[in-house]
Amino acid sequence: MTLPTFILKNAVRNKRRATLSVLSVAVSLFLLVMLQVALRELTNPIDDEGSSLRIIVRSKVSLAQPLPARQLQTLERIPGVAAVSPFSFFGGLYKGDEKFTSFAQFAIDPQRAQPLIADAKVPPEQLEAWKADRTSCIVGKLTADRYGMKIGDRLQFTGQFYPCDLDLRVAGIYHGTADDRNVMFHQKYLDELLGNPGVVGTWWVRAASIAEAPQVTDRINQAFANTSAEVRAESERAFVLGFVSMWANIKTLISGISIVVVFALILVTVSTMSMAIRERFRELAILKAIGFRRRDLFVLILAESFGLAMLGALVGAGGAWVLFHNININQLTNGLFLVFEVTPQMMGLAFAVAASLGLLAAALPMINVARTSVVQGLKTLD
Amino acid sequence: MAAPDNIVTIRNLSKIYLQGEINVTALDNISLDIAAGEFLALLGPSGSGISTVLHIIAGIDRPTSGECHVQGIDVARLNESQLADWRNQNVGFVFQTFNLIPVLTAFENVELPLLLTRLTRRARRRQVETALELVGLADRAKHLPKQLSGGQEQRVAIARALVTDPALVVADEPTGNLDSHSAQEVLGVLRALSQDAGKTVIMVTHDPKAAAFGSRQIHLEKGELTK
Ligand SMILES: Nc1ncnc2c1ncn2[C@@H]1O[C@H](COP(=O)(O)OP(=O)(O)O)[C@@H](O)[C@H]1O
Ligand SMILES: [Mg+2]
């Protein structure tokens, strides 16, 4: 026998309790990781160079209020504006999945929007075909894969906010954007269907440089101040965050739940560990008598508590990691979540929680053992 | 100073416990010499202070005043970790309740004190086997405590006390939880330790029949030597 085997035998002497301790740590840390993953997915907007350059201009009154098409000329003359395109959210129901259409359709000007969708990779001939055909569209690869859409297919959308339906031909399939789910079609086609009302949903603007983007935003807001159609321009990031702000309460909720989970975990683990040591008080006194120093006993207690907590973390956080790496959350949640990614930080958090747990759970028994003399310890009943 | 062949020398030893407002005198000015190799029986009624003497000699308790030298060392002067090492090397403990670790086999229980030494695995094995043979339990090495009788458990405890080859073996009511047959066996082993192995054995007991196994008996009453 060696000291490590002795520690191991002690740790599993009550198999049911050891299992329950490990499982309670594991389940809680699994939950903690899952909450962190969901939180990240809900509140982490796309953050790349393209999205820092892109600006969304919408009506100051509300997002649903359309903007006059004539604003285009004014926008194009504002210094620092590199490109402008209409950007109208159609929000139709896809014939084929009316229950839940998991992707958006945007009407844009393919020519003008070119710099705005530069990160979307499309074969050149598909891009040309799309530009050439007013009733065609390009589809994100995630959506195309999900519904088995191919070039030449016709997609029908029933309007929900617009009094018209779309009938689009798939001209191309793109990938490489942060969210390869959307359908892009011609604003001109939408205008025709609506009888050319001379409005767009929002404007999509590309600033000439990231440094200039904030001023460009201000200039746009000022340019339409005191007109009949005042606007609110904001970076795409801020715009997405605005959408996300309705998740703010959820964020607080999730953080709250996380704290409660960790706290409950601490209480449970500390009490089980104290119990496990307390019923061994006599034995620890004997060990002291036969020459184990206080330090040796600390090592025994700490190793046991730390070991159980770490095993729990391995099962719980490790389990979450394996699980989220092997399931397609996009399919599982019908496209509500794109990616469910366990980051190294989350794993770090889980293991840090487990480590503190191991220390904390060992602390009380260690203090008790340190305070108790051999004679006192021998007098405690089994 | 101590005579050269005295392993324990106790001079004017007192132990006073403060219980609330009241002083409880557990030991009152005791002086005592214990010769190397003897089997001393400390006999006294419950509460007489016999355990306290034993605890002080064995270095798990400290006197209020007076001195206790073991092999010329003033045990009370050692600090906690020095004391732990000293106990590991010089004292073997046997208690009334056998206090074996339930999840360890007889062999592993006996090996426990050796985990604190630098001995190799092979040397440890040899010493554990010798100790188990001495108490007549070589064939029970793989048994867990719950698979042993009370007498056998206590003999494993004696083997654990012996395994480091200490000069001193202390036993606090080692037969208190045993039937008379097992008690005889255990007392026989303790006597053999002193007679054959040359160990100094100090046993505390309330039972005159057990004390009769000792090579010398000392009586204690209300913290004072009566003989
Ligand atoms: N920690 C303590 N606090 C107060 N009194 C104690 C303590 N330990 C022992 N005593 C008292 O000291 C006396 C001797 O104790 P002890 O040597 O254990 O008795 P015994 O002779 O039965 O082994 C007893 O009266 C006991 O009540
Ligand atoms: Mg006693």
- In chain B, residues with a C-beta closer than 8 Å to the C-beta of A378 are 95
pLDDT at B2 over 50: no
**The listed CATH number (3.30.465.10, 3.30.70.330, 3.40.640.10, 3.40.50.300) that belongs to domain B37-60+87-225:** 3.40.50.300
CB B138: neighbour CB atoms within 10 A?
16
pLDDT of residue A343: 87
Query: What is the pTM assigned to this prediction?
Result: 0.73
Q: Is B79 in the pocket of ligand 1 (CB under 6 A)?
A: no
Contact A9 B88 (CB under 8 A): no
Instruction: Report the C-alpha gap between A304 and A362 in whole angstroms.
Output: 8
Q: Which of A64, A361, A47, A6 is nearest to A202 (CA)?
A: A64
pLDDT tens digit sequence for B90-146: 999 999 998 999 999 999 999 999 999 999 999 999 999 999 999 999 999 999 999
Kindly report the number of other CB atoms within 10 A of residue A325's CB atom: 10
CB contact A58 to B (< 8 Å): no
Number of the ligand 1 atom closest to the C-alpha atom of B220:
21
Q: Write the DSSP assignment of A186-216 as a string of letters.
A: EHHHHHHHHT--SEESEEEEEES-TTTHHHH
**Across residues A203-210, what is the average pLDDT?**
92
% chain A with pLDDT above 70: 92
For residue B61, the ligand closest to its alpha carbon is: 1
Q: Where does the pLDDT of residue A332 fall: very low under 50, low under 70, confident under 90, or very high at 90 and above?
A: low
What value of ipTM does the predicted structure carry? 0.93
Ligand 1 in contact with B20 (CB < 6 A)?
A: no
Size of interface A-B (CB pairs under 8 A): 67
Which among B84, B107, B160 is the nearest to A293, CB-wise? B84
Q: How far is CA A351 from CA A186, A190, A257, A311, in A?
A: 51, 53, 18, 10
Ligand 1 contacts CB of residue B194 (under 6 A): no
The C-alpha atoms of residue B51 and residue B41 are separated, in whole angstroms, by 12
pLDDT at B4 over 60: no
Residue A336 has pLDDT above 60, yes or no: no
In B, which residues are within 8 Å of A2 by CB distance? 115
Considering only CB atoms, which chain A residues are within 8 Å of B95? 286, 378
Q: Give the residue-averaged pLDDT of B32-42.
A: 95
Pick the residue whose CA is nearest to atom 3 on ligand 1.
B17
A370 touches chain B (CB under 8 A): no
Q: How high is the pLDDT of residue B3?
A: 47
- Which of A279, A280, A286, A371 to substitute to test the interface with B, most B CBs within 10 Å? A286
Dig out the tokens for B97 from the structure: 């309740």
Residue nearest to ligand 1 atom 27, measured at CA: B47
CA distance B61 to chain A (A): 7
Question: Which pLDDT score, from 0 to 100, does residue B36 have?
Answer: 94
CA distance B158 to B135: 7
Taking the CA of B49 as reference, the closest ligand is 1
Closest A-chain CA to B119:
A2
pLDDT of amino acid A341: 78
- A376 to chain B, minimum CA–CA distance in Å? 10
Average confidence score pLDDT of chain B: 93
What is the distance between the alpha carbons of residues A281 and A284, in angstroms, rounded to a whole number? Answer: 5
Q: In the prediction, which pLDDT does A180 show?
A: 85
Closest CB from A10, A283, A375 relative to B99: A283
Neighboring chain B residues of A7 at a CB cutoff of 8 Å = none
What is the nearest CA distance from B99 to chain A, expressed in angstroms? 7
CA pair distance A185, A131, nearest whole angstrom: 9
| Domain layout of chain B by residue ranges | 37-60+87-225
Q: Do A291 and B113 touch (CB under 8 A)?
A: yes
Helix (H, G, I), strand (E, B) or coil at B2: coil
Among A215-224, A330-339, B117-126, B148-157, the range scoring the smallest mean pLDDT is A330-339
Query: Helices H, strands E: what count in chain A?
Result: 15, 12
pLDDT digits (tens, 9 = 90+) for A234-264: 888 777 666 655 556 777 888 888 889 888 8
Nearest residue by C-alpha to atom 23 in ligand 1 = B51
Residue A214 banded pLDDT, cuts 50, 70, 90: confident
Mean pLDDT computed over B152-166: 95
Among A92-101, A304-313, B76-85, which stretch is predicted with the lowest mean pLDDT?
A92-101
Give the separation between CA A293 and CA A300, rounded to whole angstroms.
Answer: 11
Which DSSP state fits A16?
Answer: H
Amino acid, single-letter form, for residue A128: E
Which of B55, B80, B112 comes nearest A375 by C-beta? B55
- Average of per-residue pLDDT across B185-211: 94
Residue A16 to residues A23, A151, A227, A273, A357, Cα–Cα distance (Å) = 10, 60, 74, 13, 20
User: For residue A381, what pLDDT is reported?
Assistant: 62
Task: Please report the atom of ligand 1 found closest to the CA of residue B173.
Answer: 23
Among A286, A294, A375, smallest CA distance to B160 is for A286
Judge if the beta carbon of residue B26 lies within 6 A of ligand 1. Answer: yes
Structure tokens at A277: 């040591």
Nearest-CB residue to A13 (from B58, B103, B107): B103
- What length does chain B have? 227
> What proportion of chain B, given as a percentage, has pLDDT over 90?
91
Query: Cβ A292–B84 below 8 Å, yes or no?
Result: yes
pLDDT of residue A331: 63
| Interface contact A290, partner B, CB < 8 A | yes
Query: Which one has a higher pLDDT value, A119 or A71?
Result: A71
Residue-level pLDDT at A291: 94
Residues of A in contact with B163 (CB under 8 A): none
pLDDT of residue A53: 87
Which residue minimizes the CA distance to atom 7 of ligand 1? B17
Q: Say if the Cβ atoms of B116 and A282 lie within 8 Å.
A: no
Q: Check whether A335 has a pLDDT greater than 60.
A: no
Contact A346, A308 (CB under 8 A): no
Which of A10, A291, A378 has the CB atom closest to B85's CB atom? Answer: A291
Chain segment A113-159, per-residue pLDDT in tens: 988 888 889 999 999 999 999 999 999 998 999 899 999 999 999 99
Of A9, A291, A375, the CB nearest to B104: A9
Residue, of A37 and B32, whose pLDDT is higher: B32
Contact residues on chain B for A287, CB-CB shorter than 8 A: 112
Q: How many residues does chain A have?
A: 382
DSSP character at residue A121: B
Closest residue in chain B to residue A12, using alpha carbons only: B103
- Amino acid at residue number A144: A
